[in-house]
Structure 1
Amino acid sequence: MHLMFTSCIIHNNHSGIPIGCVLVRNGEIIARGHNRRIQRSSVILHAEMDCLESAGRQTAAFYKECTIYTTLSPCAMCSGAIRLYGIPRVVIGENKTFVGDESLLQTNHVHIDVLDSKECYDLLQDYITKNHSTWYEDIGRE
């Protein structure tokens, strides 16, 4: 999680929303992702989607051996992708700022660990304070 947090700080300094994600299989980082909606003018490039895109085409058996680590609770879109590919475990840095669709994951037997990371929370709160409208656009709210 510390690696992702550091990466988010760097990403934040490049005008991005400081949310990061890594896909890990057998202790090895397979792919990394960041929220790139601003940089790419994308409606879907949340950190989890960017990470899965970076992982490339993989088999269902491959994903069943993975854990996805994300600094923020995944939204409905990202939770759906995690469920679609059968990733069995999600580790969440914090879910106080935004509680995504964790219920979708739990209903589909995805194991969730929430770390309640103060670092992740503080970084995102600082971003939201400075970029209120961009944050609400990112989570689909006004």
Structure 2
Amino acid sequence: MESDEGFKIAVEEAKKGAAEGGIPIGACLVSADGKVLGRGHNMRLQKSSPTIHAEIAALEDAGRQPASSYKGATMYTTLSPCDMCTGACILYKIGRVVLGENETFVGGEDYLKHRGIEVVNVRSAECEGLMRDFIRDHPEDWWVQNMHKKSS
């Protein structure tokens, strides 16, 4: 599989999530030998779940894998991974994270690098556009903007 095929799948997943009324973030986990292990998209809104982020959905879709499957694998994601998803990549020793953009949200990229995981930002205008449109149209659903607001 070409290295950008996993990214194309992640973008497809992000669009699928948007079409469902969710946050347009997608992910795809690809083994070192190019096999798609899992794919998924953020389901936080659709399932009212605080934990079904795109990377977690891709890991869930992959099912239980031998530890060797994760070594050298690449997690393609359309947005910089949050702390939870960063932790999952570290826990499973995923070797590389390719992200679409980090302009609308900066996650745990530095920590991934610190833990020896290669991080590549492809700076996708398409991914950034999907997120900017979502944030503009649904500011109440973008937790990053709401997490620092004082409660009344």
Same fold, TM-score > 0.5, yes or no: yes
Closer/same/farther in 2, CA of residues 139 and 109 from structure 1, 3 Å limit: farther
Q: Which one of the candidate residues 44, 53, 59 is aligned to 1:37?
A: 44
Q: Which runs of 5+ in 1 are unaligned?
A: none
**Residue identity matched to 2:71:** K
- For residues 48 and 130 of structure 1, the distance between their equivalents in structure 2, rounded to whole angstroms, comes to 23
Aligned twin of 1:53:
60
SS in 2 for 1:90: strand
Moved more, 58-67 or 74-83: 58-67
Normalising by structure 2, report the TM-score: 0.87
The number of equivalent residue pairs is: 142
Deviation at 1:137?
A: 5.9
Q: Give the one of 105, 109, 116 matched to 1:98.
A: 105
AA at the equivalent of 2:24: P
Q: Structure 2: any 5+ residue segments left out of the alignment?
A: 1-6
What's the counterpart of residue 23 of structure 1? 29
- Asked if 1 retains the 8 angstrom alpha-carbon contact of 2:10 and 2:40, the reply is no
Moved more, 3-12 or 69-78: 3-12
TM-score normalised by structure 1 residue count: 0.93
Q: Alpha carbons of 1:139 and 1:101: their partners in 2 closer, same or farther (altered >3 Å)?
A: farther
Structure 2 residue corresponding to 1:135, chosen from 137, 142, 149: 142
Moved over 4 A (4+): 137-141
Superposed CA RMSD:
1.6
More strand by proportion, 1 or 2?
Answer: 1
Please, which of 119, 124, 135 is the counterpart of residue 117 of structure 1?
A: 124
2:12–2:26: 8 Å Cα contact kept in structure 1?
no
In the TM superposition, 1:51-90 aligns within 5 A as 51-90=58-97
Greater Rg by CA: 2
Mean alpha-carbon deviation: is it higher for 126-135 or for 51-60? Answer: 51-60
